[in-house]
Amino acid sequence: MSAITNDAEFDMTLGQSPAPSDVADVYDGIGQIYGAAWGPNYHYGYWDDDNDHASIEAATDRLTDMMIDGLRGQSGQRVLDVGCGIGHPALRLVQKSGVDVVGISVSHVQVAQANELAAGAGLADKATFQFTDAMDMPFADGSFDSAWAFESMWHMPDRAQVLSEISRVVRSGGRLAIADVIERGPVSPEGRKVLDHVCANYAVKSLGTIEEYREALAANGFVDVDIRDVTANCNRTLAVMADAVETRRDELNALVGEEQAQSLLDFMRLSAVTPEQGYVFLTATRA
């Protein structure tokens, strides 16, 4: 059967803005099984080239380390983590840079897990996580030294609005790092089907593009912008994730049924070889 069918867990109308609860449904539903299979980093891995056989853990931590380096954080600084998952990348940031982190997510489940993880690591005083929608943040102007959005922007109903919010809460001279799933043109009809399927099933209104990021960053006061298309390094993620999720096939079958489980796995493998589904890593400075 085709890999492109509607996933049972989530079925959004194409082009509709995902509500926070739509995002939470994805992560608290099939996302729990993906997370159990993939590990605590809820983001892509980075491999140097085809000869790089780094494990999932090493490849996902490597992308975290690129984000950490991009922030250039210093001990005592306050960092905003926009879309924190279960907090694993934020805790690595705290451990490596000595910064304090405030992480936000629209999943209550993730916020609870992240705070538990921080407490378990003895870092509850350095990393706190709260339920907050990035579209409208309750933080004071200039109250953070830097921010990252680690694979969360693809879910945002309006990326420019989130960048405007980040620009507001980060002080002048502060750093920004973003890793995100993007659309890469030119998009073939087959590629469009894959991108549409991602949007309709994973709480995504539309995927961003590098051009969109360049314009929105400039419009929201970011300078020193460095944008890298790292699709070739990251897209192996989908195939590796399909293999990992395959090992938890019984749980997936129980959650969505056998036919749907097969279609989810087939779709991941199809995404891995769809060049229009790309990945960006960027850094910038708040003017």
| Residues at the contact surface with ligand SAM, assessed by CB under 6 A | 20, 23, 27, 41-43, 83-85, 88-89, 104-107, 110, 133-135, 150-152, 155-156
Residue 37 identity (one-letter amino acid) = A
Shortest Cβ 258–ligand SAM spacing (Å): 26
Shortest Cβ 106–ligand SAM spacing (Å): 4
In this complex, which beta carbon is closest to ligand SAM, that of residue 42 or of residue 139?
Answer: 42
Angle between helices 236-246 and 258-272 (to 10 degrees): 160
Between the alpha carbon of residue 285 and those of residues 65, 129, 177, the distances in Å are: 18, 24, 9
In this complex, which beta carbon is closest to ligand SAM, that of residue 179 or of residue 194?
Answer: 179
Does residue 202 contact residue 14 with C-beta atoms inside 8 Å? no
In this complex, which beta carbon is closest to ligand SAM, that of residue 25 or of residue 145?
Answer: 25
Among 178, 84, 179, which Cα is nearest to 131's?
84
Shortest Cβ 20–ligand SAM spacing (Å): 6
Residue 217 to residue 225: CA distance in whole angstroms: 8
Q: Where are the beta strands (DSSP E) in 184-276?
A: 222-229
Residue 115 to residue 105: CA distance in whole angstroms: 12
Place of tokens 């099933």: 201
In this complex, which beta carbon is closest to ligand SAM, that of residue 156 or of residue 241?
Answer: 156
Place of tokens 């959650």: 255
Shortest Cβ 163–ligand SAM spacing (Å): 13
In this complex, which beta carbon is closest to ligand SAM, that of residue 61 or of residue 100?
Answer: 61
Residue 91 to residue 211: CA distance in whole angstroms: 31
In this complex, which beta carbon is closest to ligand SAM, that of residue 27 or of residue 281?
Answer: 27
Shortest Cβ 2–ligand SAM spacing (Å): 25
In this complex, which beta carbon is closest to ligand SAM, that of residue 58 or of residue 287?
Answer: 58
Shortest Cβ 114–ligand SAM spacing (Å): 9
Among 156, 272, 132, which Cα is nearest to 208's?
156
Edge to edge, the sheet with strand 170-183 lists 127-131, 100-105, 78-82, 144-150, 170-183, 277-286, 222-229
CA 188 to chain centroid: 25
In this complex, which beta carbon is closest to ligand SAM, that of residue 14 or of residue 287?
Answer: 14
Shortest Cβ 226–ligand SAM spacing (Å): 20
Does residue 146 contact residue 68 with C-beta atoms inside 8 Å? no
Shortest Cβ 222–ligand SAM spacing (Å): 19
